[in-house]
Amino acid sequence: MNSFLSPTPYIPNRIPDPLYVRILDTTLRDGEQSAGASLNSKQKLEIARQLAKLGVDVIDAGFPASSKDDFHAVKIIAQEVGNAVADDGYVPAISAACRCTENDIRSAWEAVKYAKRPRIQTFIATSGIHMKYKLKKTKEEVIETGRRMVEFARSLGCEDVGFCAEDAARSKREFLYEIFGEVIKAGATTVIVADTVGISMPSEYGKLIAAIKANTPGIQNAIIASHCHNDLGLATANTIEGACGGARQLEVTINGIGERAGNASLEEVVMILKCGAYHVLGGLYSRINTRQIFTTSKMVEEYTGLHVQPNKALVGANAFSHESGIHQDGMLKYKGTYEIICPEDVGFERADEDGIVLGKLSGRHGLRKRLEEMGYELEDEQIDAMFWSFKALAERKKRVSDADLKALVSNGVSQTKH
Ligand code: MN
């Protein structure tokens, strides 16, 4: 069953296979920054365990300097999940977020250092608007701070240091080449290109990543990461374009939760890699066990209280339901007519094998199939006789249940139950 190509040995700043894509899950950090979401340590630990089952390469476990609780949560995740080594050598790197200050970095390191693969990711804004109004620093000061703080992190003994250019999408490209070049020299193993405000267009973001890959001094000694937000609904598209441009660490969250409109969603990004990899993406792949997706999605939904919209790709309640008659007819004949992914591939369990949901748009074929599954064998005339009562009921009720069907059948249609 377990057919992943093993990404081990894990080398912080290099991935031997050029097609392998690392997945960093930031549900516990950026995801928890969603308005209205808050997780306790026990829930975070459970989610982290589930993320390890999913096989994410890096778990961004939190922001230790932000609160005592977060520090504690990151520490226990590092101690437990960060040391649970699987038979094939897999163990997720445990990462903590921190601003470019000594206190933040020290606190992050103190929390993650227990893990087998401890990592910290430090960030500072690089856009004109953020440097001027928020940081009140000059470009030179920002470069100097980034360089010194990466050096400081390495000096503590951390060998895996990510440097994130916050608001990179609105930053000057030449400035990004320069600051990334400097932090790589100082020991950064990953450079993160954040579209913090979700403003980028996919082609633009892909070109930005490619330009960073082409123009940053020393970039061959670091991994480029994407970090995209969903303010225009483009987080997933931007992330995929980023991967095409050369990003090999994709930062995502379960159900796409995160600040404001959220982050790129893990399930979408991973399944796009799986579905489009060979035709369009040149064979990019991750090691995610996609069959764990649905369980993880449900756990995050329950613990955060952030409900998944029914039409959400891959994990929404309706993602594998078919209501209209034409679609149901196709599904009953051959599932490939209307499904590009088997629900089992994402661990989705649907009550009905064919995903047939009986409603006002359903046809005779779907109705007959469900009745047969319930044990009724009816002649065409009997189906015809009850079809319009079924339609009328569906108009009123939206969804017709098995109990409703039973009532319809016993209301006048003769039956042979077996
Ligand atoms: Mn973010």
Q: Kindly report, residue by residue over 374-383, the tens digit of the pLDDT.
A: 888 888 888 8
Would you say 98 and 119 are in contact if contact means Cβ atoms under 8 Å apart?
no
Helix residue ranges per DSSP H, 81-187? 102-112, 128-130, 139-155, 173-186
Distance of CA 362 to the CA centre of its chain: 33
Distance of alpha carbon 275 from alpha carbon 265, whole angstroms = 15
Distance of alpha carbon 116 from alpha carbon 77, whole angstroms = 11
Helix residue ranges per DSSP H, 68-127? 68-80, 102-112
Give 238 Cα–ligand 1 centroid separation in angstroms: 14
Of the candidate ranges 98-102, 243-247, 389-393, the one whose mean pLDDT is the lowest: 389-393
Give 105 Cα–ligand 1 centroid separation in angstroms: 18
Residues with CB under 5 A from ligand 1 (ion): 30
Give 189 Cα–ligand 1 centroid separation in angstroms: 19
Say what the pLDDT of residue 6 is.
Answer: 54
Evaluated on CA atoms 69, 74, 75, 79, the torsion sign reads positive
Phi and psi at 77, nearest 5°, equal -65, -45
| pLDDT(128) > 60 | yes
Give 398 Cα–ligand 1 centroid separation in angstroms: 39
Q: Say which DSSP state 379 is in.
A: -
Give 227 Cα–ligand 1 centroid separation in angstroms: 7
Give 46 Cα–ligand 1 centroid separation in angstroms: 22
Evaluated on CA atoms 339, 343, 344, 345, the torsion sign reads positive
- Those residues with Cβ within 8 angstroms of residue 389's Cβ, 6 or more apart along the chain or in another chain: 408, 411
Would you say 399 and 370 are in contact if contact means Cβ atoms under 8 Å apart?
no
Distance of alpha carbon 78 from alpha carbon 114, whole angstroms = 6
Give 2 Cα–ligand 1 centroid separation in angstroms: 32
Say what the pLDDT of residue 9 is.
Answer: 76
Could you give the percent of the chain with pLDDT greater than 70?
96
Buried b (16+ CB within 10 A) or exposed e, 9-30: ebebbebeeeebbbbbbbbbbb
Give 403 Cα–ligand 1 centroid separation in angstroms: 47
Evaluated on CA atoms 173, 175, 179, 184, the torsion sign reads positive
Of the candidate ranges 70-79, 127-136, 195-204, 262-271, the one whose mean pLDDT is the lowest: 127-136
Distance of alpha carbon 30 from alpha carbon 166, whole angstroms = 13
* Mean pLDDT, range 242-260, rounded to an integer: 97
* Mean pLDDT, range 206-234, rounded to an integer: 98
Distance of alpha carbon 236 from alpha carbon 269, whole angstroms = 6
Would you say 192 and 162 are in contact if contact means Cβ atoms under 8 Å apart?
yes
Angle, CA of 82, 85 and 89, to the nearest 5°? 125
Helix residue ranges per DSSP H, 334-399? 364-373, 380-397
User: Does the reported pTM lie above 0.85?
Assistant: yes
Would you say 248 and 258 are in contact if contact means Cβ atoms under 8 Å apart?
no
Distance of alpha carbon 96 from alpha carbon 304, whole angstroms = 20
Band of the pLDDT at 415, cuts 50, 70, 90? very low
Q: Give the Cβ contact number of residue 140 at 10 Å.
A: 8
pLDDT, tens digit, for every residue of 275-313?
887 778 889 999 999 999 999 999 999 999 999 999 999
Any idea which residue has 């913090």 for tokens?
196
| pLDDT(188) > 60 | yes
Give 192 Cα–ligand 1 centroid separation in angstroms: 11
Distance of alpha carbon 89 from alpha carbon 116, whole angstroms = 11
Would you say 167 and 197 are in contact if contact means Cβ atoms under 8 Å apart?
yes
Give 27 Cα–ligand 1 centroid separation in angstroms: 10
Give 263 Cα–ligand 1 centroid separation in angstroms: 7
- What would the two tokens of residue 398 be? 């939206």
Say what the pLDDT of residue 3 is.
Answer: 43
Q: What mean pLDDT, rounded, does the chain reach?
A: 92
Ordered DSSP codes for 357-371: --STT--HHHHHHHH
Give 258 Cα–ligand 1 centroid separation in angstroms: 7
